[in-house]
């Protein structure tokens, strides 16, 4: 027995030595990588090509502070790795100002771009591109802590996009955009047969004035010709403020995308599922502030899910209603209106909206396919003096389960039977009207979703509407917790 204990002790001691050796080797390797990493300082007059030939994984390319006018910044096929990414950054965040016909392009893997300020870009079709060639795209790359702004006296006429995402597994976060007046989407995700799996988060999309035509979207994922492809892009925790470019603030044109925990504040337009299928719109807040044309979510296509969203003070109707289900074209070509089928609308809260829900918008000889097999469950409606529903074409196969209605001042006939209940609500610090107790919100049937608007698990007794009063409150995306760290945020 003593021999066995001695053997076990020796084995344990040997294992501990091995673990220590591995840790020491890892630390040594890390230190070696840090020592080998180099900083390459470049100025507006630097010839980039010979510099980039020297860049290795783990290196940084530092842009010298100052104003860069009409610069062609192309970083081609940089060899970053997951353990040793390449960093292209401003010498001081916000102090490298790119202007005029400057364009910034990069390709390769594991590259982070940060700290740039683009001001009044002119004469280029794409300001920042995640590619350097049609066949050389970025993979696992990131643009963060950057700002693109157009001043009120700028008069750029050329159609342009400010950020174009190509490749796969890329991210744009903590950036700011504002003031874009010319035609062209602010941020575009280009979709191919391979899912992009991109992430767009914690950005502040600032005011964009009305364009007066199509092409004024703030965000677009895909195009009509590739709209049946899966993009699998996640758009979360962004703040959209006064994005008034056109009716589509967000234009979804691909499949399997997720829009969650974003705040849309005083935006004249709607989050529009224009093409594509199986998208999720969950836990977003739409503050209309009683401003004209402010809208919510517009549904076109199949198997979309709209859950846990909060809509208040919206003054849009038709395509800009708080919730719009379009009529479709039978056997629709890709550029038309795919019929709405199997949409799930559950646990949303509608307060003081001009029209809470419009169904069958666009109905006519061509758009004759009515919404089919859609489900409305456990939603809460507080319409006040406004219309609850406008039904342009009766849907088929509609499932209607335990939706709650606050007693109204407007005495029209509801589209479907409601449980009319005096709902106890109070205004919380984040600006939302939330349940002050759960009794009046309790549902008779099982919940349609497992979490509430704050992203926390719902309690066992089912609560209608977006908020379960027993959970903590998530901080909403706003001007102070989105956008670049160096830029003073103002709403």
pLDDT digits (tens, 9 = 90+) for 219-256: 999 999 999 999 999 999 999 999 999 999 999 999 99
Contact 445, 451 (CB under 8 A): no
Q: CA 249 to CA 268: how far, in whole Å?
A: 8
Q: CA 200 to CA 487: how far, in whole Å?
A: 19
For 86, 113, 161, 223, the CA distances from 75, given in Å and listed in that order, are: 11, 11, 19, 27
pLDDT at 28: 42
What phi and psi values does residue 201 have, to the nearest 5 degrees? Answer: -150, 150
Please name every residue paired with 292 in a beta bridge, in sequence order, or none if there are none.
315
Spell out, as residue ranges, where the chain has pLDDT lower than 70: 1-35, 411, 413, 460, 488-491
Please name every residue paired with 270 in a beta bridge, in sequence order, or none if there are none.
248
Q: Which pLDDT tens digit goes with each residue over 394-417?
A: 999 999 999 999 887 776 767 787
pLDDT at 11: 42
Q: CA 28 to CA 343: how far, in whole Å?
A: 55
Taking alpha carbons only, the member of 98, 131, 92 closest to residue 115 is 92
Q: CA 479 to CA 489: how far, in whole Å?
A: 6
Contact 252, 273 (CB under 8 A): yes
Q: Which pLDDT tens digit goes with each residue over 97-128?
A: 999 999 999 999 999 999 999 999 999 999 99
pLDDT at 418: 79
pTM: 0.92
Query: Looking at the domain that runs over 174-441, which CATH code has it been given?
Result: 2.160.20.10
3-state secondary structure of 35: helix
Q: CA 198 to CA 163: how far, in whole Å?
A: 13
pLDDT at 14: 52
Where in the chain are the domains? Answer: 174-441
Specify the DSSP element, H or E, that contains 4. helix 2-36
Residues 6+ apart with CB under 8 A from 116: 63, 90, 96, 98, 104, 146, 147
Taking alpha carbons only, the member of 322, 331, 268 closest to residue 299 is 322
């Amino acid at each position: 027995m003593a021999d066995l204990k001695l053997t076990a002790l020796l084995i344990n001691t040997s294992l501990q030595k091995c673990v220590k050796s591995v840790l020491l080797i890892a630390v040594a390797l890390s230190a070696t990588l840090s020592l080998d990493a180099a900083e390459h300082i470049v100025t507006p007059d630097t010839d980039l090509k010979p510099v980039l030939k020297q860049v290795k994984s783990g290196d940084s390319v530092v842009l010298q502070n100052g104003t860069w006018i009409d610069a062609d910044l192309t970083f081609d096929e940089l060899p970053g790795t997951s353990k040793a990414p390449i960093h292209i950054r401003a010498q001081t965040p916000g102090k490298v100002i790119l202007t005029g016909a400057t364009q910034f392009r990069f390709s390769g893997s594991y590259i982070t771009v940060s700290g740039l300020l683009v001001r009044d870009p002119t004469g280029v079709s794409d300001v920042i591109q995640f590619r350097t060639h049609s066949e050389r795209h970025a993979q696992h790359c990131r643009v963060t802590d950057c700002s693109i702004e157009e001043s009120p006296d700028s008069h750029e006429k050329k159609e342009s996009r400010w950020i174009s995402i190509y490749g796969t597994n890329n991210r744009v976060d903590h950036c700011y955009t504002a003031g874009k007046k010319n035609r062209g989407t602010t941020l575009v995700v280009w979709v191919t047969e391979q899912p992009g799996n991109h992430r767009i988060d914690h950005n502040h999309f600032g005011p964009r004035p009305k364009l007066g035509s199509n092409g004024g979207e703030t965000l677009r994922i895909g195009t009509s010709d590739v709209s049946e492809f899966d993009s699998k892009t996640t758009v979360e925790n962004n703040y959209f403020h006064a994005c008034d470019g056109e009716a589509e603030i967000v234009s979804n044109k691909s499949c399997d995308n997720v829009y969650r925990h974003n705040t849309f504040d005083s935006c004249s337009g709607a989050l529009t599922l224009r093409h594509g299928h199986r998208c999720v719109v969950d836990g977003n807040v739409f503050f209309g502030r009683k401003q004209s044309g402010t809208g919510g979510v517009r549904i076109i296509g199949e198997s979309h899910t709209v859950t846990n969203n909060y809509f208040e003070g919206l003054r849009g109707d038709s395509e800009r209603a708080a919730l719009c289900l379009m009529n479709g074209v039978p056997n629709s070509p890709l550029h038309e209106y795919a019929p709405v089928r199997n949409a799930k609308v559950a646990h949303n809260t509608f307060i003081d909206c001009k029209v809470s829900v419009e169904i069958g918008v666009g109905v006519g000889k061509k758009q004759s396919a009515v919404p089919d097999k859609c489900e409305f469950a456990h939603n809460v409606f507080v319409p006040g003096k406004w219309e609850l529903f406008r039904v342009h074409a009766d849907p088929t196969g509609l499932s209607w389960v335990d939706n709650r209605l606050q007693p109204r001042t407007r005495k029209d006939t509801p589209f479907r039977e409601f449980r009319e209940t005096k709902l106890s609500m109070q205004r919380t610090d984040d600006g939302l009207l939330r349940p002050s107790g759960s009794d009046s919100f309790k549902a008779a049937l099982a919940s349609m979703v497992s979490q509430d608007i704050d992203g926390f698990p719902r309690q066992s007794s089912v609560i209608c509407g977006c908020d379960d009063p027993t959970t903590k409150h998530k901080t909403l995306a706003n001007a102070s917790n989105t956008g670049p760290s160096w830029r003073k945020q103002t709403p």
